[in-house]
């Protein structure tokens, strides 16, 4: 760890890569929130896969590996696939999952075909094109990171500018239409930025795992908050931290590919969030369930006491604890709890209902 920090302080390349992956994670987390809430989680996956033929075609045309040119190809190809997906959904009977599946496999298959063709060609430049499949963070240059930070800045600006419109479309499309907002424009804007974020990540994380960069931070963030702005912010943080930690781990351990490590860390955030989130987490939900079940048992005991006590003139007439036979499943502990809630009074071997206990039980009875 110390070694890594020392390395980070001194190694310019590592600084660039760390900055790049952090920026990418933050951008993807932020925009991924919108994809998740728009219920288009898989759209990102389809677009990422569909960008492969764009990369291959640009390489075939140019004959050289110009990174920006290849990414431009990826961008166009991704946008075309998005148009296809939306077109299929609106013009045919097919549902969105089918449309996504069809477009994803067609484009990706075509991309793989072109890639294998290129690899068999005699062009000496061809090697290294497969890095877009799984990503290679080590190839990030200062100018790439510059481009990334510019795009992140623009995306942030657009999100802030159209915050109200984005939120409304995400929550209630029909209502937005009736207010006279151009929903198609808002939707296209949102999708375009998601496509741009995907393309930015291709070099680092690759076609195959790119969608996880969008979805994992957003899914994790959703667990911790009930506010859209906090969710988007948190998703950005989770994404950014995943980028930094992933780069650190892959730089410290030899030969670990950066993209998959970043994705694994992001999914680790998801797991933690699913289990430990205070309101939505599995753990706390289970605890709440147990507590409810215990409360129910307690009330059952109280009801039994009530049925005994109500025949007496004085409701606080003491009864033997032994009277609570085993059917009621009482324990010393549960009696203590009833006493601490001032529902009963304990006195050695006796118990007696308090007025509060009597009223509580009576209401339970009428509510049944």
Partner 1 sequence: MDHNIALAIDDLTVAYNYKPVLWDIDLQIPEGVLMAIVGPNGAGKSTLLKSVLDIIKPLAGSVTIYGKPYRKQRHKVAYVPQKGSVDWDFPTTALDVVMMGTYGALGWIKRPGKKEKKLALEALEKVGMLPYKSRQISQLSGGQQQRIFLARALVQNAAIYFMDEPFQGVDTTTEKAIIQILKELRKAGKTVVVVHHDLQTVPEYFDWVTFLNVKKIATGPVADIFNDDNLTKTYGINYKTSIVE
Interacting residues toward partner 1 by CB under 8 A: 37, 39, 93, 161-165, 167-168, 170-172, 174-175, 177-181, 222, 225-228, 230-231
Starting at the earlier edge strand, list the strands of the sheet with 319-320. Answer: 319-320, 350-353, 344-347
The CA distance from 30 to 25, in Å, is 8
**DSSP states along 8-31:** HHH-HHHHHHHHHHHHHHHHHHHH
Residue with tokens 């993807």: 28
Min dist CB 176 to partner 1, Å, is 8
Min dist CB 363 to partner 1, Å, is 20
Q: What separation, in Å, do the N-terminal and C-terminal C-alpha atoms of the chain show? A: 61
Min dist CB 168 to partner 1, Å, is 6
Residue 69 neighbours by CB distance under 10 Å: 15
Beta carbon nearer to partner 1, 93 or 348: 93
Beta carbon nearer to partner 1, 49 or 222: 222
The CA distance from 261 to 49, in Å, is 19
Cβ contact 305:323 at 8 Å: no
Beta carbon nearer to partner 1, 174 or 313: 174
The CA distance from 237 to 244, in Å, is 11
Min dist CB 159 to partner 1, Å, is 12
Cβ contact 17:140 at 8 Å: yes
**Could you give phi then psi for residue 40, rounded to 5 degrees?**
-120, 35
Joined together, the tokens standing for residue 365 give 């009875």
| Separation in Å, CA 170 to CA 35, 58, 181, 259, 316 | 9, 35, 13, 30, 58
Min dist CB 149 to partner 1, Å, is 24
Min dist CB 179 to partner 1, Å, is 4
Beta carbon nearer to partner 1, 188 or 345: 188
Min dist CB 183 to partner 1, Å, is 10
Cβ contact 224:234 at 8 Å: yes
Beta carbon nearer to partner 1, 36 or 199: 36
Beta carbon nearer to partner 1, 161 or 323: 161
Beta carbon nearer to partner 1, 103 or 235: 235
Min dist CB 87 to partner 1, Å, is 16
- Chain-centre distance of CA 164, in angstroms? 22
Beta carbon nearer to partner 1, 178 or 366: 178
């Amino acid at each position: 760890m110390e070694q890594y920090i020392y390395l980070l302080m001194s190694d310019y390349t590592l600084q660039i890569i760390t900055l790049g992956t952090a920026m990418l994670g933050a951008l993807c987390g932020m925009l991924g929130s919108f994809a998740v809430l728009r219920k288009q989680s898989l759209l990102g996956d389809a677009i990422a896969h569909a960008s492969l033929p764009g990369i291959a075609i640009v390489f075939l045309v140019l004959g050289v590996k110009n990174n920006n040119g290849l990414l431009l190809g990826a961008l166009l190809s991704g946008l075309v696939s998005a148009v296809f997906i939306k077109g299929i959904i609106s013009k045919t009977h097919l549902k969105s999952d089918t449309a996504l599946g069809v477009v994803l496999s067609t484009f990706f298959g075509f991309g793989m075909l072109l890639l294998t063709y290129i690899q068999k060609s005699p062009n000496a430049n061809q090697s290294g094109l497969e890095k877009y499949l799984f990503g290679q963070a080590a190839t990030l240059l200062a100018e790439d990171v510059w481009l990334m930070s510019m795009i992140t800045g623009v995306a942030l600006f657009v999100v802030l500018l159209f915050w109200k419109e984005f939120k409304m479309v995400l929550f209630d499309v029909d209502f937005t239409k009736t207010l006279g907002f151009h929903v198609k424009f808002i939707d296209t804007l949102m999708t375009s930025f998601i496509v741009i974020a995907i393309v930015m990540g291709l070099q680092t994380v690759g076609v195959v795992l790119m969608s996880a960069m969008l979805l994992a931070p957003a899914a994790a963030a959703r667990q911790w908050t009930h506010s859209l702005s906090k969710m988007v912010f948190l998703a950005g943080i989770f994404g950014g931290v995943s980028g930094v930690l992933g780069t650190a781990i892959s730089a410290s351990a030899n030969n670990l590919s950066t993209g998959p490590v970043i994705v694994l860390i992001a999914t680790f955030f998801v797991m933690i969030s699913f289990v430990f989130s205070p309101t939505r987490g599995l753990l706390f939900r289970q605890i709440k369930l147990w507590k409810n079940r215990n409360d129910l048992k307690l009330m059952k005991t109280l009801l039994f006491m009530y049925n005994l006590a109500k025949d007496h003139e004085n409701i606080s007439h003491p009864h033997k604890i032994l009277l609570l036979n085993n059917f009621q499943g009482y324990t010393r502990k549960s009696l203590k709890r009833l006493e601490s809630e001032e529902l009963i009074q304990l006195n050695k071997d006796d118990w007696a209902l308090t007025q509060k206990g009597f009223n509580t039980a009576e209401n339970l009875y009428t509510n049944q």
